[in-house]
Structures are given as structure tokens and as C-alpha cells.
Structure 1
Amino acid sequence: MRARLLGVLAAFALVVQVGGAVPAGAAPRWERRWDPSPARDGLGAFEALEDDRRGSHPEGQPHVRVEGNAWRFDAHLEDRDGADRMRNEVRGLRTSGGRPLEIRKDETWRLSYRMYIPDTLDATTGFSHIWQLKTSDIGTPVAQVSLPVVGGVQKIAARYWTLADNKSHDFALADLEPIQNRWVTTVIEFKSGDDGYMRWILRDGRRTIVDQRVDGIDLWWTAEQYNRPKWGIYRSIKSAGLQETYLLVKDLKAEQLGAATPPVRLPPPDRSPGTYEAERAGNVWEGAAEPAYCAVCSGGRKVILIGGNVYDHTVVRGVLAETAGARRMTVHALVDGAQTFSVSVNGGDAIQVPMTGTKDTVTTATVPVELVAGVNTIRFFGHAARGPELDKIVIGEVVNGT
């Protein structure tokens, strides 16, 4: 009997070693997907960097950097990410091979890391977040770890948000001051689904301070995009007694329950003459503007969050013209009702491109633009309100024979 058992175990070990397979019907296991190193990967461990993206404090840069075996996030009193807040964060997960890891619907993930919160990083009466889960096309966060003041006491809290009423819900709290000025470990486990859950664990050495879970919550809000974690400091500047401070994180790891999800297959971009995709490599996306998935767009992507302030804009670079003169430019975009792009060619005066349509259909508008012979840049922006979501532009025939 013992020999038979040993034979079975040896056969199973061989199966695991060859191909990493497990028997059919076996329960899914936690699989390591992300294990970045500050020395090896630096800021390339993340999908994007938000280091003073408004340019409010260039003298303080870099606000996000590698320090020893950790990533450091600085917050200065003059930092701004709008009139009433500051933000210095990283977002998303990127493998050492450069591929973003996308947290998709009904996937279950576990993020673990160690953090050092100094006593200068106080809890506040306004918002003060040190970790977030967000999707690129919705401003409301999906979940957070925050530093609130509750009943006059500084706390660290795990919370989820409800989209319908744009409200947060703390489901786990701990006192902040006992864990300041020391390395503590946190684990955030969640199912990214309509009927999801979130579990937050906080440990000081071997001592578990919090291990709390909330079930039946909606952690999936978008049909096309994906959830992305964010680390850093994002806080209101309206709380009294704010200090210049920092946050350290290290030993970052991400595990997925079950098999890895294959990468999304996108349709090819439009390579017709005179066509320039908004997500094309080499273009510029400033502030919050960034490429995102789009089921109805050529190339499967669009650029979102253009306009609404002086910071969020995109620049289509490398637009070619054999001769100087006016050309017809057709803008392809997804429009939420009536929206307008402001467009500047080569830094010239803005022209307005009003568009009317729906967010699930590509709408077009054609305007004349004055190009120089050679290489041109075309900036899309809007100071007063958000503009459409840009799919591509097409440069057409000469206007008026010029």
C-alpha cells in the first residue's frame, strides 16, 4: 500500500514538473503574476507615473522615485493636482517584459506589500488616500485604503465605493498612530465582479491588526476597461495641519486566483494614407489623458479624458504634408451628446470642432487646418469642459486648390 501511494505521489510530481499542469477538476490556485524589484524595474514596474502631472512643483521632482529597496512618494505643501488637492502616484502593473497586467471582470486578485507611514503622514478631515483601485474611464474610485479622522482619532481604513450614489463605505478600520514610523504588511484581496468581495489584512510583524472581508459588493463598473491599483499619496489640501511628508512601499506582489488571462487581441490600426491613430506611439498624452480600449474604434483604442482644464490634452505628432497649405481634417471620435474639441496646429490659434453623437458610435466632423510642408503637430484640448474621446484623424485633400 505504501509503495502504491509513493508511486502515485511521484507520478503527480512529474505532472507538475512537466508543464505545470494540475489534475482536471482541481481547485484553482494562487499564481504569482507580478513581483517587481525597485533595483531591476524601477518605475517601469508600473503602467504609468503621475508625478506632479500638473507641473505645479517642478523644483520638487521627482516626487516618485526608487529609494534603496523601496519606492518613495513625496508630498510637498505646494504640490497641486487641481485647486483643492495634490497627487503623486503610480498606477497599474507592468511585467518585467513590459506587458500591462489587466484586472478584468470576475477575476480574483491578491495584492501584498509592506509600507512605511511616517508620523508626518497624518490622517485628515478631508480625503487622504494611500492606495486606490480605479478604472481609467470613470472618475469615482472602486476601492481605497485611506487615512481618515474618525471621532477625533487618526485611522487607517479600507473602503469600497458605490457608483450610483458616488459614496464610500469603510468596512475595516484600525488606529493609525501605532503603525506609524514602522514597516507594516498589508494584503488586499478582491474579486473584480458585479458580485465581488474585498478583504483587507493589516499586520505588524506576526501580529494581525485587521483581517476583515465584505461580500456582495460591485467592483466592476465598465464594459471595456479594466481595474488598476494605484499607490502613492492623493489628498485634499483643505485639512488643517498638513505637513510635508512621504510614503514608502516595498515587497510588492500580485497573485491571481487561477490561470492567467490571455492578452486582449485588438484589431489592426487604420493605415490608410493620411490617417493618424490617437493612440499611435510617439503621440503625447498629458495630464489625465490616456489611451483606453474601444470596441468600435479602429485599432481597438481611443484617447480619453481630453479637456476640462488646462492640463489634460493630447497631441497627434508626425502629421505629414508635402506642401504648405490648408487641408481637410476629419476627426473621428466618440461623443457624449454635444461636445467640442479645441484644436491647435503647430501651436497656432485654436479652432473649434463641435461634435454631436453617442459614446457607442464613432462620429466624424471635418474642418480645414493649415499645415506646413513637412512634419506637423496637432493638439486636442478644451479648457472649459471635457471633449469627445478621440479615435483618429484623417488628413484629406487640399482646400480651395492651395
Structure 2
Amino acid sequence: MNKHGLRLAGVLSAMALITQVGVTPPASAAPRWETRWNPSPQRDGVNAFEALEDDRRGSHPEGLPHVGVDGNAWKFTAHLEDRDGSDRMRNEVRGMRTADGTPLEIRKDETWRLSYQMYIPDTLDATSNFTHIWQLKNSDVGTPVAQISLPVVGGVQKIAARYWTLEDNKSHDFATADLEPIQNKWVNVTIEFRSSDDGYMRWVLKDGHRTIVDQTAEHIDLWWTQEQYNRPKWGIYRSIKSAGLQETYMLVKNLKAEQLGPATPPVRLPAPDRGPGAYEAERVGNIFEGAAEPAYCAVCSGGRKVILIGGNVYDYTVVRGVLSETTGTRQMTVHALVDGSQAFSVSVNGGDATTVPITGTKDTVTTTTVPVDLVAGVNTIRFYGLTARGPELDKIVIK
């Protein structure tokens, strides 16, 4: 597949030339930093973000909300009983969403600057295992592209900026500072980066007007995705295997995202399948639980698919609004992208599961047809898998 996938490169607008006689046309202006996102906790709440990861495994419903608004800031709370797997907990937000609900996409070769204020209490300690408080990720790869983390280095609590290399799945700290002097106070954070195969990342940490860190990592690969886009995450994501963990929280405020140059035109997607009995997996109103979410797909109808289905009881999707004029057995054709041999568990209207195996390649839509029992009226069809990740779902067609 073409590495660029559906990405549409942003272009700079041409400056209008002055055509009056005797007037020399001005030179084209250099690109400027343009504010793309500047949300307000009171106005936007958690809708400022593309998605909310507030105890998505349902481990601690009594503690909800773990992510929300606290005065003029967003607050991320971590309890000792929170779990996002057997060895970790996660309460984060991901991505950025404009006031009209449009996600902001950080695309190939774009340069962005994120700035915000952060409050780390002394209960949010650095740990011997991982603790991350900011990440840059994309949907195609589980490994983060970059992070701000709280490691223990030589017995000293640190805050560190790092990037990852995909070929060996290793992190590289390029700037660190002592954590304890910045706890229990508001500090200023700026993260500037070029989302490119030959990119850079600059991390600036300030205590008031005093610069604690201003360090840049040059010539690093910050673009790994074929079809997706990079997006930032804020919150607390940590291993539960570190000794001495405390219940804690983190606050962020005055979030701003700026792009160097004008906004990139939106991606133009192919039309979804509007044929009889066709239901796109990513359609509005469907359910995307846990990690399952819509993502770009160059070979899918509608230009999207649903990824990260299965592997546990939490990550699943439900196709809603499946209509049938009569009660009876119908034929369902599943369209999906498959990495070798994978399978869905499929449940209709909450009934017993049917296993749907599919064999194919991850860059081609593969189909298989199975019988399903529908009731007259509206039906729901759940796709999940308890032990392994399933295929990536494009659509279903009922006949």
C-alpha cells in the first residue's frame, strides 16, 4: 500500500499579487503559526478531545468520572483500583476536536506546537516501571511515537521527554529534569514537532519565567502511519507494578495547538455503500467500546474501517439499526481486512455467539458469508473476540 494512504498534503495558499502599474508585487509571506485549537474547560468540557479513555475497562465505576473538569482545568484522577489490563491503569484523553466537532489531524510533514500548563502533585511520583503523562500516537501502531514520562533515574525522580524507534521498539530520552522541584505548582509545557520521516521534537519546560529545559531531538522519525494520523494524549497511564503507588491526579489548563502554515484541507473520502442491506461499520450511531474505533482505510467503502476489535471482553463494536421486514434467517456478508487467519465472534440481538473465521491479507478487503437469525424490525449485531484480535471491519451486507 502507498505509505501516504489517504493523506492529502497541505499546501500553502498563494499570496495575491498587486497588479497596479508601478507597484512591485510583494514577496510571498513565510508560513506563520496559526492557532488551530484553544479549548475551554467550562465551554467544551471533555468534548474538546476526540475520545475519552475514562476507565474504559469499567474497573472502578464508583470512582467515575476519572477525567473531567475541575474549575478552569481538566483533571485526571488515578485510583489504586483502576485497571486497563492486568498490569496497568489508564485515564487519558486522546486527540483534539474543534468547537464544531471536527477532529484535528496531525498529518505527514506538518509542524505543530502544543502548549499548556500542568500541575503535578507530590502524590504523582516517578516510578521504576512506566508512568506516562503525555503521548503522541497513531491508530496503526501500538507503540507510542513520543512521550512525556516520569521515570526514576539513578534513584532520582525525573520528568523526561522521549521518542521511540519503531524498528527496535525502544524509547530514547533526549531531555530530563528533576521532578520534585516542579511538583505542587503550575508549570508551562511546550512540545513542538515535525510529523515527518525526518522530523524533530522540541520540549520546553518552564517554571514561571525560568526555563528548566529547552531541548530538541533532530532527525528522528515521527511518522509511522500508512493511513492514520498522529494525535496527542493527555492523562495518567502507568504500570501498577511499581512500589509505593498512591492515589493521585494531574491537572492541565490553557491548552493550545498551533500549526505552522494554514490549515490542511480535509481528507476527501469515497462514498459509503448505500446499496440495499449495506451497513458501514463506522456509521454514526454504531457502538465502539474500549479500544475499538473507526480509522481511515484506503481500500474500504466510505474510506473507513473499525479497528482493534476483540482480544478481551472490552473491545468490541456493535452495528445498530439492521433492518429486516420479517423474522427469519438471512445471509450476512462480512467485509473485512484480515492479517492471515482471524475470526470474529458475532452475536445478534444479544444471542449466542457464532464464530466467523476469515483468511486474507491486511491490505485487501476479504468477504465471507454466514447465516444470521434476524427479527422483524430493528436488529443489532455485535462483533467481538474474547481471546484474540479480530479482523478490521469494513461493512456488512444483509440479503
Q: Is residue 169 of structure 1 aligned with residue 172 of structure 2?
A: yes
The equivalent position to 2:382 in structure 1, one of 375, 379, 402, is 379
Q: Which residue of 1 aligns with 2:257?
A: 254
Task: Give CA-to-partner distance per residue, 1:213-240, whole Å, 9 cap, x none.
Answer: 0111000001110000000000000000
> In the alignment, is the contact (CA less than 8 A) between 1:137 and 1:305 conserved in 2?
no
Equivalent positions of 1:32-51 (< 5 A) are 32-51=35-54
Q: How many residues align?
A: 377
Residue of 264, 267, 273 corresponding to 1:264 = 267
Structure 2 counterpart SS, 1:44: helix
- CA drift of 1:23 comes to 5.1
Question: How is 1:109-128 mapped onto 2 (pairs within 5 angstroms)?
Answer: 109-128=112-131
Matching of residue 227 in structure 1 with residue 242 in structure 2: no
Residue 283 of structure 1: which of 276, 279, 286 is its match? 286
1:25 corresponds to which residue? 28
Amino acid at match of 1:227: N
Q: CA shift at 1:24, angstroms?
A: 4.3
Q: Which 4+ stretches in 1 moved above 2 angstroms? A: 22-26
8 Å Cα contact 2:298-2:304 kept in structure 1 = yes
Residues 109/23 of structure 1: CA separation in 2 closer, same or farther (3 Å cut): farther
Alignment-derived partner of residue 214 in structure 1 = 217
**1:97: Cα distance to partner?**
1.4
Q: CA deviation at 1:325?
A: 0.7
How do residues 176-187 of structure 1 correspond to structure 2 at under 5 angstroms?
176-187=179-190
SS in 1 for 2:43: helix
* Residues 1:349 and 2:352 aligned together: yes
Q: Distance in 2 between matches of 1:314 and 1:137?
A: 18
| Aligned counterparts, 1:132-143, within 5 A | 132-143=135-146
| Correspondence for 2:22 | none
TM-score (normalizing by structure 1):
0.93
Offset of 1:175 from its aligned partner?
Answer: 0.1
The CA distance in 2 between the partners of 1:93 and 1:23, in whole Å, is 36
Counterpart in the other structure of 1:72: 75
Deviations 1:116-140 (A, max 9, x none): 0000000000100000000012100
How far off its partner does 1:25 sit? 3.1
CA distance in 2, matches of 1:274, 1:392: 10
Q: Which has the larger radius of gyration?
A: 1
Alpha-carbon spacing, 1:23–1:128, altered in 2? closer, same or farther (3 Å)? farther
Q: Secondary structure at the match of 1:101?
A: coil
2: distance between equivalents of 1:173 and 1:245?
22
Query: Pairwise CA RMSD of aligned residues?
Result: 1.2
2:61 aligned with 1:58, yes or no?
Answer: yes
Please state how far the C-alpha of 1:28 moved relative to its aligned partner: 1.1
**Paired AA for residue 378 in structure 2:** V
Partner deviation per Cα, 1:18-65 (whole Å, 9 max, x = no partner): xxxx95432211111110011111111100000000000000000000
SS of the equivalent of 1:59 reads: helix
Whether the aligned pair in 2 keeps the contact of 1:46 and 1:92 (CA below 8 Å) is yes
The TM-score with structure 2 as length reference comes to 0.93
90, 94, 99: which is aligned to 1:96? 99
Q: Which runs of 5+ in 1 are unaligned?
A: 1-11, 16-21, 397-402
Matches within 5 A, 1:285-324: 285-324=288-327
Once the 2 structures are TM-superposed, how far is the Cα of residue 291 of structure 1 from its aligned partner? 0.1
